[in-house]
Amino acid sequence: MKIRNTHSIDLDPVVTKGCGSRPRSNGIFGAFRFAAVLIFCSSFVARAEGDVSLEYKVKTVFLYNFTKFIEWPPGSMPEDGDFVIGIFGDDQFGDGLSYFADKKVRGRKIMVRKFAYVDDLEPCHILFICSSAKFNHGRILAAVADWHVLTVGEWEWFATNGGVINFVSRGGKVNFEINQAAAGRAGLRISSNLLNLATIVTE
């Protein structure tokens, strides 16, 4: 069940910079500023050369910006540890994941780990589940159920079947859905600024 859809990101063919900026305002103004940041970031990859699609570069920027508006429980981020982003399945990010190389989350370096099998999964803070693994998503979500992990998918029914955030790409735009119940089960607190820009879905 979908409740509302208030935002989408155009895949605008302009190359820009500065996608790491962090909005600091609250309330309605904060939501508009966050929208501006995401629109700004979504456009920096257009007309880029190489084997990474524009869509997946936009998703990379989204993943990073999500971290600014989500709180993980105390203890899930050791002071001397990395912030771990897991990628499960046959991804299409290519060398676009190098975007994370000079980024940090709450002072922690970002480490990207790739997983091909459920039994190989290790604790991470974000787990992006590629569409190639969608028919195995039940086992994947069950395997990480006891972790404080932000699960992110990219197919139509991911969020309504227990995932936290789902990317939906239509007509050259990237939208995202959020399942608040799934976030709660994972112990994650999502800023109202982010919720206001999402389609809220239920299971």
Residue 80's CATH number: 3.40.50.2300
Mean pLDDT of the chain: 80
Q: What are phi and psi of 2, to 5 degrees?
A: -105, 140
* Segment 31-74, tens digit of pLDDT: 555 555 555 444 443 444 343 577 888 899 899 999 999 999 98
Domain total in the chain = 1
Write out pLDDT tens, residues 79-107: 778 999 999 999 889 888 999 999 999 99
- Let me know if 114 is exposed, middle or buried by CB neighbors in 10 A (0-12, 13-18, 19+): middle
Residue 163's domain comprises 2-201
The strand ranges marked E within the chain are 2-4, 9-10, 70-71, 83-88, 104-105, 108-115, 126-129, 150-153, 165-170, 173-178, 189-190, 199-201
pLDDT, tens digit, 9 for 90 and up, residues 106-148: 999 999 999 999 999 999 999 999 999 999 999 999 999 999 9
